[in-house]
């Protein structure tokens, strides 16, 4: 029996055999593909013509004056609104929904109904039942754009709220809608639109778009929980959106090119953004929509869809002003047209033909408008990532000594503490909170279950948002390091930006080099980065330690990528904190004008467990997902331990740390080596350890394992790289050794002199007591924050 025939329902096979398709269906498919090919071919000259026409139009628009007349300034005082409802044959809808509007919009606000020549008695009903409503009765149906344009001049107030006649509003929908207009640069503020259960919600949420495959892909992203009062969006839906009347008139209102409906509101918003005006969503202004009640009823489903596709083309031809995006669209146009035909058959071809007929209007629009505003690409990115740049019109000034609001961005979970970086992030956040600062955390975790840590962190953080990072495919042939690509994700950008919009933090603290893309220049906060190690130095050392030409070349390329990225991106920060003075010395020459200080130092808490060392037990602690730890212990086991055992076969080795790989676990095949995995409390291990080893050969930064051993009074033998960044002396706080022979020699010597060894451990403890207490470190960090704020003029 064929395998396919035995397949169960779980696997969905997509094999289609020609014999299984009826002849009629095959002919239909062939015809559709033939038509798609024809339309695609016809689109080639259209695309070329549009390109040339757009070029010419751009040239003509350049002859126009750069500065256009600005609208008159708004009247000061409380903003009043005119609610403008466009109606066509909607008597029943008005009767049902208008009472909610009247209840929510008290005088002196105004309600204006523009009737598009209804013959169902809408006007008579309004005069009879709602005498407080102003009526503008048009002689025929002028559709959405012309109808609304006709009503706006009749509005008495500065703000015009366009509302569909099938909208029911919440009693308090108006105040949040008008509040953002305090900022003079706001053009439009949209309400959050909800749909009755069962209806698809296409207009609600955060309106965004991305440019992909030569065309816009629109999205309506959900509004985050506990949102700020306003969020930048790409466009305000014409169904429930407030507009500044002066700016509306300066832009010429909705473009009638899009008649009868769809995309006028998006087009208007894009024109406003290009003039530097803002379009926002007010999530606390809520309305309910009986979706598409009018248009589908009167025009039919096919026509509405056709208009949607036609206007989608027109919008791109009229509004795509970035040369690169326009070129991409025109190159893709034959494919897009063919795809529409393949999907929608004749209706797809008709949409394209209708768009081509209207193309001269789109091109003439390009001619009439000169573009001075932000680049389209930036606009898409800003709204997609919910960047809060447009939300804070006033300058910021903090009082000296006032508690700071700190937003921390972290790449890994840091509770429970499983590695040195986690210890730094956790203790810094906790100590800052203890000192009275408001600490919020956004970051990634590797697995869903790790998000439970948020509960613990909320004990001292104002807000914690942890996202699970999904594995991402590798981007080849780029100049960016792989880990940067893996961690630079729009969802975390959005989460951070939403946090910034909501809390307006004074300090944005980014953790780890590969999160540097989250540290944009931000005028309202000191943007700081903690370098847990100097990443390019680690990559360089990995390259030096690699064996074979292929491995060495790959490691060298990783080093080059990281060097370029780290040097370039760190220059954007207001302050960079390193784990040691040594790291700061390495970095500072590359970062002209950026404050580099060792305020990223890690602290340790002294362990009170009394020492009860075994005669000969060596301890290695390290998180084994960190490659230098794996390299270190394998080198130690293969090169050093045999030399130690040759003299002292009784020496035992204990390894503690999360996620030991197979090679490390395999070391336990010798009974003298034990691999404990993750140990939540290391006190007992430190207590019985004769000494701790840190045979680190690659990586950079400060080894927390060395400091923790010091804090537990455990003597340490380390390589010079293992002790890097610590102001310690060989033979005083620890023993240093580089080669396998010298490392084994130091271990054996210390085992032979237990009294001196224990004294060394006590000196190590005194060292961390003097230099590495969390209180002192975080006080220094706080002072660095304040200094960065002073340098930016935000403090004092």
Binding stretches for other proteins (CB under 8 A): 3, 6-16, 213-214, 328, 331-332, 335, 471-474, 476-479, 482, 534, 537, 540, 557, 560-561, 563-564, 567, 586, 589-590, 661-662, 720
Helices 754-771 & 704-711 angle (0-180, nearest 10):
110
Q: How far apart are CA 691 and CA 615, in angstroms?
A: 10
CB 470 within 8 A of CB 490: no
Q: What separation in angstroms does the CA of 332 have from each of 54, 244, 358, 524?
A: 16, 37, 19, 41
Q: How far apart are CA 676 and CA 529, in angstroms?
A: 34
Q: How far is the CB of 422 from other proteins (least distance, A)?
A: 21
Taking the least distance from each CB to other proteins, the nearer of 302 and 730 is 730
Half-sphere exposure of 89 (CA within 13 A, CB side): 12
Taking the least distance from each CB to other proteins, the nearer of 91 and 541 is 541
Q: How far is the CB of 333 from other proteins (least distance, A)?
A: 11
| Region for residue 638 given its phi and psi (left: phi exceeds 0; alpha: psi -120 to 50; beta: otherwise) | alpha
CB atoms within 10 A of CB 102: 15
Taking the least distance from each CB to other proteins, the nearer of 272 and 333 is 333
Among 284, 314, 182, 181, which Cα is nearest to 223's? 284
Q: How far is the CB of 624 from other proteins (least distance, A)?
A: 12
SS3 50: helix
DSSP 191-250: EEEE--TTS--SS-SEEEEEEETTEEEEEEEPPPSS--S-EE-S---TTEEEEEHHHHHH
The dihedral over CA atoms of 90, 92, 94, 100, expressed in degrees to the nearest 10, equals -150
**Interacting residues of 53 by C-beta distance below 8 A, sequence separation 6+:** 359, 363
Taking the least distance from each CB to other proteins, the nearer of 135 and 591 is 591
Kindly provide the b/e burial profile for residues 477-511, where b requires at least 16 CB atoms within 10 angstroms of the residue's own CB: eeebbbbbbbbbbeebbbbbbbbbbbbbbbbbbbb
Q: How far apart are CA 286 and CA 171, in angstroms?
A: 9
Q: How far is the CB of 781 from other proteins (least distance, A)?
A: 24
Taking the least distance from each CB to other proteins, the nearer of 11 and 225 is 11
Taking the least distance from each CB to other proteins, the nearer of 427 and 539 is 539
SS3 435: coil
Among 548, 543, 544, which Cα is nearest to 558's? 543
Q: How far is the CB of 571 from other proteins (least distance, A)?
A: 11
Kindly provide the b/e burial profile for residues 396-411, where b requires at least 16 CB atoms within 10 angstroms of the residue's own CB: eebeeeeebbbbbbbb
CB 243 within 8 A of CB 159: yes
Taking the least distance from each CB to other proteins, the nearer of 175 and 331 is 331
Taking the least distance from each CB to other proteins, the nearer of 538 and 690 is 538
Q: How far is the CB of 590 from other proteins (least distance, A)?
A: 5
Q: How far is the CB of 452 from other proteins (least distance, A)?
A: 19
Q: How far is the CB of 11 from other proteins (least distance, A)?
A: 4
Longest dimension (CA), the chain: 107
Looking up tokens 């394992």 gives 705
CB atoms within 10 A of CB 720: 12
Q: How far is the CB of 581 from other proteins (least distance, A)?
A: 13
Q: How far is the CB of 625 from other proteins (least distance, A)?
A: 11
Taking the least distance from each CB to other proteins, the nearer of 285 and 312 is 312
Taking the least distance from each CB to other proteins, the nearer of 91 and 626 is 626
Give me the phi and psi of 115, to 5 degrees please.
-100, 125
Q: How far is the CB of 490 from other proteins (least distance, A)?
A: 18
Q: How far is the CB of 377 from other proteins (least distance, A)?
A: 16
The H-or-E segment that residue 164 falls in is strand 159-164
Taking the least distance from each CB to other proteins, the nearer of 338 and 363 is 338
Q: How far is the CB of 631 from other proteins (least distance, A)?
A: 16
Q: How far is the CB of 496 from other proteins (least distance, A)?
A: 25
Give me the phi and psi of 689, to 5 degrees please.
-70, 135
User: Is the dihedral angle over the CA atoms 570, 571, 576, 581 positive or is it negative?
Assistant: positive
Taking the least distance from each CB to other proteins, the nearer of 56 and 557 is 557
Taking the least distance from each CB to other proteins, the nearer of 11 and 107 is 11
Taking the least distance from each CB to other proteins, the nearer of 331 and 551 is 331
DSSP 251-266: HTSS-GGGTTSSSHHH
The H-or-E segment that residue 306 falls in is helix 301-319
- With 0-12 / 13-18 / 19 or more C-beta atoms within 10 angstroms meaning exposed / middle / buried, residue 440 is buried
Strand partners, 443: 410, 466
Q: How far is the CB of 106 from other proteins (least distance, A)?
A: 53
Taking the least distance from each CB to other proteins, the nearer of 16 and 770 is 16
Taking the least distance from each CB to other proteins, the nearer of 337 and 616 is 337
Q: How far is the CB of 564 from other proteins (least distance, A)?
A: 5
């Amino acid at each position: 029996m064929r395998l396919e025939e035995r397949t169960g329902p779980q696997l969905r096979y997509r094999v289609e055999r020609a014999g299984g398709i009826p002849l009629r269906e095959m002919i239909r498919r062939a015809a559709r593909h033939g038509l798609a090919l024809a339309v695609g071919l016809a689109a080639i000259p259209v695309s070329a013509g549009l390109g040339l026409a757009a070029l010419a139009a751009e040239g003509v628009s350049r002859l126009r004056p750069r500065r256009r007349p600005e609208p008159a300034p708004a009247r000061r005082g409380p903003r009043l609104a005119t609610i403008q409802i466009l109606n066509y044959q909607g008597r029943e809808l008005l009767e049902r929904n208008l009472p909610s509007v009247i209840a929510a919009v008290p005088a002196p606000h105004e309600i204006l109904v523009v009737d598009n020549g209804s013959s169902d008695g809408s006007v008579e009903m309004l005069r009879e039942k709602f005498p407080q409503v102003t009526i503008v009765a048009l002689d025929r149906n002028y559709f959405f754009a012309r109808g609304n344009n006709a009503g706006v001049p009749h509005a008495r107030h500065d703000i015009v709220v366009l509302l569909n006649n099938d909208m029911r509003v919440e009693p308090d929908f108006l105040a949040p809608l008008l509040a953002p207009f305090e900022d003079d640069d706001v053009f439009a503020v949209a309400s959050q639109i909800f749909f009755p259960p069962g209806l698809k919600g296409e207009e609600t949420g955060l309106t965004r778009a991305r440019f992909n495959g030569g065309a816009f892909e629109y999205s309506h992203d959900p509004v985050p929980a506990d949102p700020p009062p306003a969020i930048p969006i790409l466009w305000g839906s014409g169904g429930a959106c407030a507009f500044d009347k002066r700016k509306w008139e300066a832009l010429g209102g909705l473009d009638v090119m899009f008649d009868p409906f769809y995309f006028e509101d998006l087009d208007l918003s894009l024109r406003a953004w290009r003039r530097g005006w803002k379009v926002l969503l007010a999530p606390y202004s809520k309305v309910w929509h009986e979706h598409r009640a009018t248009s589908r009823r009167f025009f039919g489903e096919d026509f509405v869809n056709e208009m949607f596709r036609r206007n989608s083309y027109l919008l791109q031809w009229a509004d795509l002003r970035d040369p690169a995006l326009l070129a991409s669209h025109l190159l893709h146009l034959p494919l897009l047209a063919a795809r529409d035909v393949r999907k929608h058959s004749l209706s797809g071809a008709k949409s394209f033909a209708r768009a081509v007929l209207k193309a001269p209007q789109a091109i003439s629009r390009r001619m009439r408008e000169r573009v001075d505003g932000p680049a389209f690409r930036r606009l898409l990115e800003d709204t997609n990532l919910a960047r809060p740049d447009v939300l804070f019109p006033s300058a910021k000034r903090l009082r000296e000594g006032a508690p700071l609001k700190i937003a921390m961005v972290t790449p890994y979970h840091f509770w429970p503490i499983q590695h040195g970086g986690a210890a730094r992030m956790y203790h810094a956040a906790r100590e800052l909170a203890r000192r009275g600062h408001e600490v919020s955390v956004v970051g990634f975790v590797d697995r869903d279950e790790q998000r439970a840590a948020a509960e613990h962190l909320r004990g001292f953080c104002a807000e914690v948002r942890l996202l699970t990072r999904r594995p991402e495919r590798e981007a080849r042939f780029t100049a960016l390091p792989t880990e940067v690509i893996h961690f630079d994700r729009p969802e975390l950008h959005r989460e951070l930006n939403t946090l910034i919009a909501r809390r307006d933090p004074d300090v944005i603290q980014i953790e780890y080099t590969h999160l540097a893309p989250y540290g944009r220049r931000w005028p309202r906060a000191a943007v700081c980065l903690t370098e847990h190690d100097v990443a390019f130095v680690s990559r360089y050392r990995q390259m030096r330690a690699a064996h074979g030409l292929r491995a060495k070349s790959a490691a060298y390329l990783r080093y080059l990528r990281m060097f370029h990225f780290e040097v370039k991106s760190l220059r954007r920060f207001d302050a960079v904190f390193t784990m040691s003075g040594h790291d700061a010395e390495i970095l500072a020459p590359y970062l002209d004008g950026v404050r580099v200080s060792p305020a990223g130092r890690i602290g340790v808490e002294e362990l009170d467990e009394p020492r009860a060392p075994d005669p000969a037990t060596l301890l290695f602690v390290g998180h084994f997902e960190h490659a230098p730890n794996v390299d270190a212990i394998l080198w130690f086991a293969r090169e050093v331990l045999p030399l130690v055992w040759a003299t002292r076969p009784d020496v035992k080795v204990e390894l503690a740390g999360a996620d030991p790989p197979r090679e490390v676990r395999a070391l336990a095949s010798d009974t003298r080596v034990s691999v404990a995995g993750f140990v939540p409390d290391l006190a007992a291990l430190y207590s019985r350890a004769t000494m701790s080893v840190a045979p680190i050969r690659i990586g950079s930064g400060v080894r927390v394992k060395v400091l923790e051993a010091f804090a537990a009074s455990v003597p340490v033998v380390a390589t010079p790289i293992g002790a890097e960044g610590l102001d310690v002396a060989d033979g005083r706080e620890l023993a240093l050794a580089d080669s396998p022979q010298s490392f084994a020699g130091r271990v054996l010597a210390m085992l032979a002199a237990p009294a001196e060894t224990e004294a060394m451990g006590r000196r190590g403890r005194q060292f961390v007591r003097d230099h590495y207490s969390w209180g002192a470190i975080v006080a220094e960090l706080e002072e660095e924050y304040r200094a960065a704020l002073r340098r930016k003029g935000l403090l004092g």
